[in-house]
Structure 1
C-alpha cells in the first residue's frame, strides 16, 4: 500500500528552501520572516519534526550570522547540537562563529555606532519624510552634475562634517557600507539589491535608473547640467586621474590620452552621453524623457539654489545650499572648433535637455 505524502511536511520543506535561497541572495531579514513563520509544533511525524527542526535551527543560525548577530547565531547552533550532537556542519560553524564573536569583542575602540543589517532594516521603517511620508531618498547621481555637493548637503543633516560621514560609510568595518549620523542612515554606492531593499535614509550611486527597482515610498531625484559643460568637466576629471588609480578609471582615461578631438571620437558613449544613458540604455531621447518623468523631482546644476529649495519643500528637511567648487585641477579649455565638434556629438543630450527645461517649468510650479 502506497503511503500518502504529508503535504504539511512538503510545504515546510519548501519554506526552508525559500529561506535558504534568500540567505544566499544576502536577504537574511526576509529569510528570518519565513523561518519565524514556521510552526514550532508542526503537524507531522516525529521523524519529520526532527528533520524540520534541524533545518530551521541551521538556517536561523546562518541568517543571524549574515546580520552579524553572532550571539543569536550561536544560540541556534547550540540548540541544533543538543538535538543532534553529531551534526558536523553545525560543529564547524560554531567554531567559526565563536572566533568571529571574539574578534568583534576585541575591537578597540568599539564601532560607534555599531550598524547591522537588522538595525538598518528596522531603523529605515521609522522614517516618515515630508508630507507624503517617504521612507527613504535616492539620488540618481549623474557624474559631473554637482552630485557630490548635493550629497554633502544631505550628509550634513546629522550635524557632522559631511566628509567624515562619507568616509565612515566607506570604511565601515563590517562591510555594510553605511554610516549613521544623528538619526540618518547614509548608504553611498549601494548594490542593485541593496537599493531595492531600501534600508537607508539617503543613498546615491551612478547606476542607471533603468537597472533599478525601488521599494514603495522612495523619493527619487537627479540633477542635470548643460551637456557641453558637463562633458568638458568629465574630460578634466580624466586628466586628473592618477596613474595608480583603479583599473576601471584608468581604462576611462585612455580615451583622452591623444587629445581632445580623439577623445570625442573614442570616449564610451555611456560616459559622454551619461545624462541620456542613465535613463535610456538605447540612448533614445523619448525613452529617457519618459523615464525622467518617473523621478519624484529633477533639478539643474545652474539653478542649484532653486533645486535645493524644491528638495526642502517636498522633503521638509533643512537642507543648506551647497557650495559648488570645481573638483578638477586641470587648466584645459577647448578651442571653439573643439567645442563645435563636441556639441555635435552631444546633440541627443541637447534634445533631451530642451524637453526637460519645458517639463521643469510646468511640473515644479505645482506640488508633486
Structure 2
C-alpha cells in the first residue's frame, strides 16, 4: 500500500514540488564550488562516456544511476542534482545537472560551468547501434536493472531495422550526427565550432581519465567514477560497404570532431 502511494503520480508531483522549494531556498550549492562558479552543467553527448562522468558527480551525494532512476531532481546530503528536465536546468538550483539537450536549446544561468565530452563519430555511432541492439536482446528485468532508460529505449527499437545501414538511414540528424547537432541546429561546422567555443571545457572520450582529473582541478571537487553498467559482448555485423556508407553520412561531423580535437585536446585548466 505504501509503495503504491509513493509511486503514484499525485505523490510524485507534490514530492517534487517540495524538493524544488527546498533546493531553491535552502541548498547553497555554489559555496562548494570555486569563486565565480554557481553550478555545473554537463552537455551530455550520447555514447560518449557521459553516464560514467555523471557517476563521478552523483557519487558526491552517495547516489547511483539506479538510485536516481528517472527523477528530474534529487536531493542528497548537502547537494541537489538535476537530470533530464529543461525547466529545472534553466532554473539553476543544483550543484550538478546533465541532459541530452542541444546547447542551443538551453538558456543557462550566468556562472554556470559547462563541459562536454566528444567521441570519434563513427565509433560513437557503432556504440549507439550496439546499445539499441542490447535493448532489443536483453530481458526486461535485466534491462531495467542495468539502465533505467530501458523502457524509453525499448519503445524506439524500430530504429534498429534489419541491418546497420537500415539503422543509419532511419536515424534523425539529432541521433546520427548528435555531436554536430548539439552545437549547431543547422548542422554547420563553422557554427558548431563557434558555439562549442562558449563551453568552459571540451573533453574527449579517449582521454576519459584526463577529463575526470581536470574536472577535479577546475571545480575543486573529489570525483570518483563508479561504473555501474556492463552490457556484455553485443554481437553485431557491419560490412565494409556499410561502414563506408556511414562514414559518408558522418562527413561533416567528422570534420567538426577533428577541428575540435586540434583546438581542445588536453587543454590544461588554469
TM bracket, shorter-chain basis: 0.7 to 0.9
Q: Which ranges in structure 2 are unaligned for 5 or more consecutive residues?
A: 7-14, 141-149
After superposition, where does 1:216-227 map in structure 2 within 5 Å?
Answer: 216-227=110-121
Counterpart for residue 174 of structure 1: none
Q: Which ranges in structure 1 are unaligned for 5 or more consecutive residues?
A: 1-102, 105-111, 172-176
The 1:147–1:258 alpha-carbon spacing in structure 2 relative to 1, beyond 3 Å, is same
Match of 2:65 among 157, 163, 168: 163
Counterpart for residue 217 of structure 2: 313
- Provide the aligned length of Structure 1 versus Structure 2: 248
2:269, 2:53 → 1: CA distance?
Answer: 23
Q: CA deviation at 1:115?
A: 4.6
After superposition, where does 1:131-280 map in structure 2 within 5 Å?
Answer: 131-158=34-61, 160-167=62-69, 170=70, 177-191=72-86, 193-242=87-136, 246=151, 249=153, 252-280=156-184
Q: CA deviation at 1:151?
A: 0.7
Q: CA RMSD in A?
A: 2.9
1:123, 1:139 → 2: CA distance?
Answer: 23
TM-score, scaled relative to structure 2? 0.81
1:283, 1:213 → 2: CA distance?
Answer: 20
1:289, 1:129 → 2: CA distance?
Answer: 31
Q: Secondary structure at 2:203's aligned position in 1? A: strand
Higher RCO (C-alpha 8 Å, min separation 6): 2
Q: Is residue 49–residue 205 contact of structure 2 (8 Å, CA) maintained in 1? A: yes
Q: Is residue 74–residue 81 contact of structure 2 (8 Å, CA) maintained in 1? A: yes
1:328, 1:273 → 2: CA distance?
Answer: 25
Q: Is residue 19–residue 75 contact of structure 2 (8 Å, CA) maintained in 1? A: no
Q: Is residue 152–residue 162 contact of structure 1 (8 Å, CA) maintained in 2? A: yes
2:228, 2:244 → 1: CA distance?
Answer: 26
Q: Is residue 43–residue 114 contact of structure 2 (8 Å, CA) maintained in 1? A: yes
Q: CA deviation at 1:323?
A: 4.3
Q: CA deviation at 1:329?
A: 5.0
Q: CA deviation at 1:257?
A: 1.5
Match of 2:185 among 281, 285, 289: 281
1:275, 1:329 → 2: CA distance?
Answer: 25
Q: Which has the larger radius of gyration?
A: 1
Counterpart for residue 122 of structure 1: 25
Q: CA deviation at 1:183?
A: 1.1
Counterpart for residue 335 of structure 1: 239
After superposition, where does 1:21-170 map in structure 2 within 5 Å?
Answer: 115-158=18-61, 160-167=62-69, 170=70
Counterpart for residue 202 of structure 2: 298
Q: Secondary structure at 1:241's aligned position in 2? A: helix
Q: CA deviation at 1:163?
A: 3.3
